[in-house]
Structures are given as structure tokens and as C-alpha cells.
Amino acid sequence: MRFPIRNQIILTFSLILLAAIGFLSATSAWLAVRLQERVMLQHLQDVTSTLESSTFPLTANVLKQMKGLSGADFVVLSSDGTPGVATVDVDQAELQQIRGAPNVGGLQAISSGTTLEIAGETYFASHLLRTDNSGNRLLVLYPQANWVAAQRTAAWPPLAIGAATMAFMSIATVWLMRRLSRRIENVRGLFRGISRGEFGEVPVAGPDDEIADLTRSANELSRQLLAMQQSLKQTERMQLLAQLAGGLAHQLRNDITGARLAMQLHGHRCHPTTDGQDESLSVALRQLKLTEEHVNRFLSLGPKHQSSQPVPGSLQDVVEETAILLQPTAEHAKVRLDVEIESGCDVDVRDFDTVRTAVVNLTMNAIEAAGSGGAVTIALNHDRDNCVLEVKDTGSGPSPEVAESLFDPFVTSKPEGVGLGLAIAHQTAADEGGRLSWTRDEGQTVFQMRFPNAIATGFDDSRFGTRGEQRRRSQKLFN
């Protein structure tokens, strides 16, 4: 038979407490009865002592007054047992009982004498000897009904208080049991839900006690398990995506490499101009190379395995190359693409290609968000501690459904989107010691990548080979 622990604790405590209250009430009642008996006995002893030692005759009026003072009846018996003056009528049968009552030298207790039935009423009888040597005896008859009534009067207050206390304790115990049961049941229900995969929470109700601590711990466990479940789902998606990507990787890479080689061969055969007037073929080749990098990065989700060391580069070069790569895309989408570079703002980044990929993703998203007739700005400026790269667009901004988790993997509002571009950009900024954030400012969506000013500005173009040349070409293009 199941016996809940709350019942074990509360019922045991309640039974002990009720037993203690009952014992104290009974003891108090017994002491009250004993005290009442002493008071009554002392009063009766005073009256009988006066009668026993008196020298005046015990007339009917005297006994009647004594009865009024003590509540007892009195019968005067002669030396031969014949009843004389009395406050109660005695017949012959009762007289025989009175004659057989033993003599005592004093009244020791009200209920210690002989019990007599006189006139249909029960008395406690005690014989007392007169001190005047007359041989008369004084019979004290105390009504048993009066004695019982006095006992009840003395006993009922402590018993009533004890009963009321026990009733109150019973009600309080039941109330406490139900309250604790509800709180414990809530926690048990939460764990039942967790066992079924339902990771909810229950309110922390009642006083701040151990059950409240248990409830908070259970809620925290539920939140952690929910986070773990979501993480496992993301991991499963990543694994599935990796499997799908693995099947397409070689084919895509071969196709892109073949197209890039064909365009390079075409460029060599046709001898394109090199005076900077037509760079469409160069841009196309770099777009194909960038696509290769996207495929490689897509396949490297999860643990990073780099086949070569990252190449550092200038953050200003990142901005200018991004603008060169995406200018045709912006023109095709009828979006104005602007570049704003604050003088003296430049830092090295550890992995030029990775940062450029992240900025390209941000700018592509901005072009799509701005739409036809919109505007996108890539700005590079600095504050006291950071060099800030901003990508701003005039679009409506992310939808409320994804705004809170915009940088989480697989979070996207695009029907054809995968939801990895912003997650990769966020991780890239963190790898560079910075951070990526976004906000809405004056009707624009602004993504900010902050890079610490750890390296002095002022790059030598010769360190970057063709990138220095690309910077000069981009300056001509955007001036």
C-alpha cells in the first residue's frame, strides 16, 4: 500500500501533537477537579469543625443555616442511634444504613465516606463525634449529584480548550497537507511531463521553502533539457545537411572549377583590356572563386578542419572587394550600393577570406531586403576602442518571428533560405575577437561588425599583392 512521504511526516507529527494536547488537557482537568475538591472539602471542614466543637444546641435552624453554607445535609444521632434534628427526612430502612455507618474522627475527603440512598438521592455519609461528651454523633450527608456537578464544572474548561485546540490542529493539518500536496503534485506533474518530452514550467507558489527550491530546480532542469533538445535537433539538422552536402560537394566543386578554368582560358585567348575599363570578366572569375569558398565553408560546418593557414588582410580591402563583387548584383536588382570609408580607419583581420565571405553574406542579404529602388551602404568607421563595419539597408527589417534568434543556425524568413549566413558571420566576428549585432535606426536595418583596434592602421598595398591593385581600381570605380 502506497503511503506518501508527506502523509508520513504530517500525520506522524499531527498524532504526536494531538496526543500531547490530549494528555495536557486531561492532566489539567484532573488537577482542576482535585483543586475544586480541596476547596469544597476545606469549606465543608470549616463548617463541620464549627458544629463539632460548638456548645450551643444543634437545632433545626442551626443545621439549616449550615446546609446553606456548605451544601451538605446534616442528621444528629443520639448515643443509641436514634435520629434527632435533621435537614432531611429519614425512614426506618435508611436509619438502619445510617446506624451501620462507621464513625470517623474527622472529615478527610468528601467521597471517602459511606454511600447512602436517602429519599431517592445518593449521599456521601461521614459520622463525626461531638466534643461535648454528650455521645451525640453528627452525620454529614453530601449529595453525590452536587459533587459530580462540581467536578464537571472544574473539568470542562481545560477539556473544552483541549478539544478546541485539537479541532483547530486537525483543520490546520488537513489544510497544510492539501497545500503541500498541491505544490508537490505540481512538481511531480512537471517531472511526468519531462518524462514524456514536454518541457514546461510550473509557477513557484507558496513560501520560499524547500519545495520552492525544488520547484525552481525542476524548472531549471526543464529549461536545460529543452535547450539540449533544441541543440540535438540542430545537431541532427547539421548532420543531415552535411550528408546532403557531401553528396553534392564533388560535383559542385568540379563544375565551378571547370567554369572558372574555362573563363580564364577564354581571357588568355581573347587578350582582354587591362586598363581598368572593362572588368566584367575579372569580376566573374572572382565570383566563381568566391562561390568555391562558399561551398567549402558550407561543407566545413561543425568541427573546423582547415587545409591551409588563414591569410591576414586589411578590413578596408574587405569592404572594397565586397563592393566590387556585388556591384553587378546590386545594379541588376536596381539597388544603389554605396561605400563610406572613414579616413584613418583600418585594422588587420586574421582571416581575410573568411571575413570577406561574412561581409558578402551581410551585403547580399541587405540587397535582397532593400529591393528595387532601395539603397545599401557599406560603411567603415571607428570609435575609441573598435573599428566598426556597418551594412545598412532601407528595407523593412527582419520579421518579428526571427528577430530574437536571428544569429542562430537554420533561422530564416526566406522560403528558399537555409539560415546559415548570419550564423557564420556571427561566428566569424567572434573568431576575430569582435562581435556582430543589428538594430533598426531611422528606418534602416543596420548590421554592425566590431573589430578591436589591436593593430595600427596604415596598410602597405604591396603586402597584399593584387589586393592593393584591387583597392586602387575600386577607388576609381566608386569615386
Stronger pLDDT, 254 or 66, i.e. the higher one: 66
Got the DSSP string for 16-64? HHHHHHHHHHHHHHHHHHHHHHHHHHHHHHHHHHHHHT--S---HHHHH
CA–CA separation, 180 and 176 (whole Å): 6
Phi-psi region of 3 (alpha: psi -120 to 50; beta: other; left: phi over 0): beta
CA-CA distance, 445 to 395, in Å (whole number)? 7
- Does pLDDT of 456 surpass 60? no
Q: Which of 360, 248, 317 is nearest to 474 (CA)?
A: 317
Lowest mean pLDDT: which of 150-154, 193-197, 291-295? 291-295
Q: What is the DSSP string of 177-217?
A: HHHHHHHHHHHHHHHHHHHTT--------SSSSHHHHHHHH
pLDDT in tens, 323-353: 888 888 888 889 999 999 887 777 888 888 8
Q: Whole-angstrom Cα distance, residue 33 to residue 110?
A: 13
What is residue 374's predicted lDDT score, i.e. its pLDDT? 92
Q: Region 28-51: what's the mean pLDDT?
A: 80
* Residue 460 scores a pLDDT above 50: no
Segment among 101-115, 132-146, 167-181, 436-450 with least mean pLDDT: 101-115
Candidates 321, 405, 335; CA nearest to 365 is 335
Cα separation, 287 vs 282, whole angstroms: 9
Report residue 273 as a C-alpha cell. 583590356
Position 469 pLDDT exceeds 70: no
pLDDT in the model for residue 428: 87
Q: Has residue 315 got a pLDDT over 80?
A: yes
What is the structure's pLDDT at 414?
66
Domain parsing of the chain, residue ranges: 5-152, 199-307, 311-478
Question: What is the architecture, at CATH level 2, of domain 311-478?
Answer: 2-Layer Sandwich (3.30)
Q: Does domain 5-152 have CATH number 3.30.450?
A: yes
